[in-house]
Amino acid sequence: MDQLAQQLVNGVLIGLVYSLLAIGLTLIWGVMNVLNFAHGEFLMIGMFLSYWLYVMAGVDPLFSIPINAVALFLLGMLVYRFIISKVMKGPALAQLVVTFGISIFLANFAALVWTPNFRSIEHTLLSGTWDISGLKLSIPKFVTSIGSVATSLGLFCFLKKTRIGKAILAVEMDREAAVIMGINTERINSLSFAIGSALVGVAGALLATHYYIYPFVGGSFGTICFCIVALGGFGSIEGAFVAGILVGVVQTLGGYIFDPAYKLAIVFIMYLITVWIRPQGLRGW
Amino acid sequence: MTIRRVLLVLAVFAMALALGAGSALAQQKVIKIGALYPLTGNLAATGLDCKRGADLAVEIINGNFDLNLPFAKGEGIPNLGGAKIEIIYADTKGDPKNGLAEAERLITQEKVVALIGAYQSSVTKTGSQAAERLKVPFVCSDSSSPTLTERDFTYFFRVSPHDGTMARNQFEFLKDLGDKQGKQIKSVALIYENTEFGANVAKMQQQYAKEFGFNVVSDIAYPANASDVTSEVGKLISAKPDVVMHAAYITDAILFTKTFKEMNLVPQGFLTMAGYIESDYLPTVKADGNFMTVRSTFALDLAKKKPMVGQVADLYMKKYGIPMGENTARSFTAPFVLADAFNRAKSTDSQAVVKALLETNIPGDQIINPWKGVQFDPKSHQNIHASAMLVQIQDEAYHTVWPFEAASRELKWPFPAWKDRK
């Protein structure tokens, strides 16, 4: 019984990491209908950035969050400006393949310049585990989940309250109408791609506090994120947030109660049932 | 495309052709061996370790070194006029499909006369199928699934011990622990990644647990490369085993170690393998890796009894700047076994090489591993002398702890609680 509660907590913690990764992905999809396969590799770049800042300048990953956000924002903008915006004019297949190409390039480029070795940050401000009457709560994982909630809320407020945020939502809902209303959609595309990347940069800094770092780490998170985006409804920020937690909990509890060998199968069955009942996903339209 | 562009492309092609022809000319007295390793993807770091081991072996064979290894003294392979060995690497990306395709490519296009590799048992399985079909010898010194040598292939040979042997070694250790040190173990929990490697390790462990009279309280397969393993560790905690036996590659080994600590799993001991002895494991988990007991076919402290091991390890350190490890030591041995076969066969013809491999008899003092030597079983082609020892991580380094007679450090048992560390 104790283990069951423990697993529930663990599920929420990993679920919130998934949420943070998935909202960036879903934002990009929602605005420009581009599935960014390089999302996991952007995460990897974020993790490495935190790692190098820690090793070379002694910056704790917690403080590299803003640096990561800005750096990945710029990276996202450049990738959009010089690669994505070009293929947006081409056939749909080109859009699909190009981000896939970027992902392979980034992972292998990282392996080339930083070697494929594993790294981890040892003495961060966050380490250790709280023991709350038998319930184990990893401090770095807990702070990561708080960071995820805060970032998601921040994004949500930005989209609902600011002029630019409302413009992003407008483009997401109806691109043609937005153009007629005088919204510069090209700028909104670039901005959304950059914001989506910045979010994954934040996730990179948070994950760097307790996860191993290596060039192919993106792959461990990539596939599950697509599932979450689809489950939450393509383009829906709230949907992705809720779906992330849901997947985390179902995966962890399912693995514990049934068999860990089937934990991903359980997640995908849940996904299939959901799209069967609601083809647009939890919060899609 | 403008005319200029076409010309440019043609010029590049012409240069590439010229380069290809040039290297073909230079390769007259070169024996080409193909190597399959995961050079990109999840196991890229592992593949690099393996590549370094094979590269160092080839350097020793081709060059002139004062070491007690076959062909170290004098350049190249004597009976073939000092022919040099060249390894052509192919990247499997850790995928059995690529293992098959790359093995075919190496044989049919690169014209390699033998293959080594491929670290992951699942990839070796498909790669060696291609080799068998195309009648080219495959000498494996790094994959451990028992099924590989149960196929009675004509062209497949394995130098290193398989999981059956090593699982038996692990239970011999547990029995020894009770008999010689009075530390009685009753139950074990098996946890393993669900590919060829892990699943077969578990099958063998189940079999030997029964034979040696240990109770398996939990048998957990999990998907490799997961991003979170708390449910797996939760199941282990609920099972309360005396000993946890884990079969994992590097990514899982790191993640599990962190999760064991976080969720405070403290059995009497952890018996582990593979990922836990990769060169990246300790630098990543650091002191959290202490007191893990790992099965191994190599340890740097073997140098105390076999000085040649120390000399090779020094060469390795000088060349790559990191200490030599288990995976490197495994891939290091295969090129010597092949060179020895080429030399006795006086040819690289596959039938002659297979015949020579079957007659292989390399004494124990000419290999860096702690075995009595290399000699293949005539039917299965498994090295009959291969076995495992156990090392334990203490002070963030691997030390031989079993067989007890060969130990360089005393075994620390039971596993100290996480909270009492540091």
User: Tell me: the pLDDT tens digits for B39-50?
Assistant: 998 889 899 999
CB contact under 8 A, A255 and B231: yes
CB contact under 8 A, B230 and A214: no
- Give the Cα separation of B367 and B374 in Å (integer): 8
B231: nearest CB among A117, A215, A256:
A256
Residues in chain A: 285
Q: Is the pLDDT of residue B279 over 90?
A: no
At B26, the pLDDT band (50, 70, 90 cuts) reads very low
For position B20, what pLDDT does the model report? Answer: 47
B48 and A CB contact within 8 Å: yes
Q: Residue A121's closest chain B neighbor by CA?
A: B284
CB contact under 8 A, A14 and B237: no
Token representation of residue B418: 């996480």
At A50, the pLDDT band (50, 70, 90 cuts) reads very high
Condensed to tens digits (0 to 9), the pLDDT of residues B194-253 reads 888 899 999 999 999 999 999 999 999 998 888 899 999 999 999 999 999 999 999 999
User: Which among B36, B20, B49, B5 has a CA at the least distance from the CA of B330?
Assistant: B49
For the segment A247-251, the average pLDDT, to the nearest whole number, is 94
- Give the Cα separation of B331 and B54 in Å (integer): 5
Host H or E run for residue B261: helix B250-262
DSSP per-residue letters across B233-288: HHHHHHH--SEEEEE--HHHHHHHHHHHHHTT---SEEEE-GGGGSTTHHHHHGGG
Q: Is the pLDDT of residue B25 over 60?
A: no
The alpha carbon of residue A70 is apart from the nearest alpha carbon of chain B, in Å, by 26
Q: Which residues, 6+ apart, have CB-to-CB distance to B379 below 8 Å?
A: B152
Condensed to tens digits (0 to 9), the pLDDT of residues A195-233 reads 999 999 999 999 999 999 999 999 888 888 989 999 998
Tell me, rounded to whole angstroms, the distance of Cα B192 from its chain centroid.
17
B218 and A CB contact within 8 Å: no
- Give the Cα separation of B56 and B328 in Å (integer): 9
Q: Which residues of B touch A106 (CB under 8 A)?
A: none
B74 and A CB contact within 8 Å: no
B290 and A CB contact within 8 Å: no
- The ranges of chain B annotated as CATH 3.40.50.2300 are 9-161+305-374, 164-296+389-420
Q: How far is CA A65 from CA A61, A70, B151, in A?
A: 7, 9, 54
The alpha carbon of residue B209 is apart from the nearest alpha carbon of chain A, in Å, by 22
Q: What are phi and psi of B86, to 5 degrees?
A: -125, 135
B187 and A CB contact within 8 Å: no
Give me the architecture of the B9-161+305-374 domain, per CATH. 3-Layer(aba) Sandwich (3.40)
For position B256, what pLDDT does the model report? Answer: 96
User: Which among B143, B144, B138, B142 has a CA at the least distance from the CA of B157?
Assistant: B138
Q: Residue B223's closest chain A neighbor by CA?
A: A261
For position A1, what pLDDT does the model report? Answer: 54
B41 and A CB contact within 8 Å: yes
CA angle B253, B259, B264 (to 5 degrees): 125
- What are the structural domains of chain A? 2-116+137-277 (1.10.3470)
Condensed to tens digits (0 to 9), the pLDDT of residues A61-113 reads 999 999 999 999 999 999 999 999 999 888 888 888 999 999 999 999 999 99
CB contact under 8 A, A3 and B237: yes
The alpha carbon of residue B259 is apart from the nearest alpha carbon of chain A, in Å, by 9
User: Which among A15, A210, A119, A4 has a CA at the least distance from the CA of B282?
Assistant: A119
Q: CB A270: neighbour CB atoms within 10 A?
A: 18
Chain A interface disruption, residue of B43, B51, B192, B230, most A CBs within 10 A = B230
- Amino acid type, B163: D
Helix (H, G, I), strand (E, B) or coil at B228: coil
- Look at A280 and A252; give whichever has higher pLDDT: A252
Give me the architecture of the B164-296+389-420 domain, per CATH. 3-Layer(aba) Sandwich (3.40)
**Percent helix, strand and coil across chain A, each to the nearest 5:** 75, 5, 20
Asked whether B299 and B348 are in contact (CB, 8 A), the reply is: no
Host H or E run for residue B86: strand B84-91
For position A128, what pLDDT does the model report? Answer: 84
C-alpha dihedral sign at A7, A8, A10, A14: positive
For position B1, what pLDDT does the model report? Answer: 44
Beta-carbon-side half-sphere exposure of residue A132 (alpha carbons within 13 Å): 8
For position B5, what pLDDT does the model report? Answer: 62
CB contact under 8 A, B231 and A219: no
Chain A interface disruption, residue of B231, B256, B276, most A CBs within 10 A = B231
Q: Which residues of B touch A119 (CB under 8 A)?
A: 283-284
CB contact under 8 A, A6 and B234: yes
For position A2, what pLDDT does the model report? Answer: 83
First-to-last CA distance in chain B? 67
Q: B45: cis peptide before it, omega within 30°?
A: no
The alpha carbon of residue A35 is apart from the nearest alpha carbon of chain B, in Å, by 21
Q: CB B241: neighbour CB atoms within 10 A?
A: 24
B283 and A CB contact within 8 Å: yes
Condensed to tens digits (0 to 9), the pLDDT of residues B293-324 reads 999 999 899 888 889 999 999 999 999 999 99
Q: Residue A211's closest chain B neighbor by CA?
A: B255
Q: CB A67: neighbour CB atoms within 10 A?
A: 17
* Pairing, β B156-158 against β B138-140: parallel
- Amino acid type, B159: V
Query: Which single residue is written with the structure tokens 């990347």?
Result: A197
For position A108, what pLDDT does the model report? Answer: 92
Condensed to tens digits (0 to 9), the pLDDT of residues B53-112 reads 999 999 999 999 999 999 999 899 999 999 999 999 999 999 999 999 999 999 999 999
Q: Which residues, 6+ apart, have CB-to-CB distance to A229 below 8 Å?
A: A22, A25, A26, A29, A240, A243
